[in-house]
A and B are shown apart, each in its own frame.
Chain A
């Protein structure tokens, strides 16, 4: 079955540590997105990528980094510079002219 796979489902970060969230899609979608959702809030765009080896900052990119070396993969690194990383992280993808579809999310907490 085609879909978007995010891993891990739960992740814990220690002070000063960088952590990487995985997002893989087998839908042959061109564009991929990372969102952050805080309790009771909507989705805020962190980064998005329309093609391989290219990506753009969203509204809250500070403290995060991404790469897009393969069409299928768009990992997100939460760096130690992100002082408030506790949130629900959602990866999404879409093909031109089509709606966005989401993975199941990764819940990140601070130890």
Chain B
């Protein structure tokens, strides 16, 4: 069974601090990695995607990928109350386009 693991949280972070969200995956055939944000009762929206080892930055968000350790993370700088949501990590196996999601981490930004 191919798995994506995330700490369910909640992760509480003071406003203005850096929030660090982590994800591990079991299948070394995973080639693409995605972070989605989901507000309660809403559908997921794409925040970041990363394909290569290293860091990828987009505004306040940075995705980090380490394929050797099978680890992907999301950093949110200058956290805002509007960042409070559940963050879903997903991986994609190129061989069959199957996309597997973790159960998500609930993030709570403390005003």
Contact = CB atoms under 8 A, between A and B. Distances in A.
A interacts with B: yes
A25 B110 CA distance: 38
Interface of B: 6, 32, 34, 42-46, 49, 88, 90, 92, 96-104
Interface centre among A33, A42, A105 (most CB of B within 10 A): A42
A58 B32 CA distance: 19
B96 A43 contact: no
A40 to B, nearest CB: 8
Given A42-B101, A45-B99, A56-B96, A102 B44 contact: yes
Nearest to B45: A102
A31 interface: yes
Contacts of B103: 41-42
Nearest to B103: A42
B98 A100 contact: no
A50 B97 contact: yes
**Which secondary structure characterizes the binding site on chain B?**
strand
A88 B100 CA distance: 17
B98 A48 contact: yes
Given A50-B97, A102-B45, A104-B42, 18 more contacts: A33-B99, A42-B6, A42-B101, A42-B104, A43-B88, A43-B90, A43-B101, A44-B101, A45-B98, A50-B96, A56-B98, A90-B43, A90-B44, A94-B97, A99-B34, A99-B46, A99-B49, A105-B42
Contacts of A68: none
A53 to B, nearest CB: 16
A1 B4 CA distance: 33
Contact of B46 (A41, A58, A90, A100): A100
Contact of A103 (B43, B88, B97, B102): B43
Nearest to A90: B43
A31 B101 CA distance: 17
B88 A104 contact: no
Interface string A26-64: 000001010100000111110010100000101000000
A48 B101 CA distance: 14
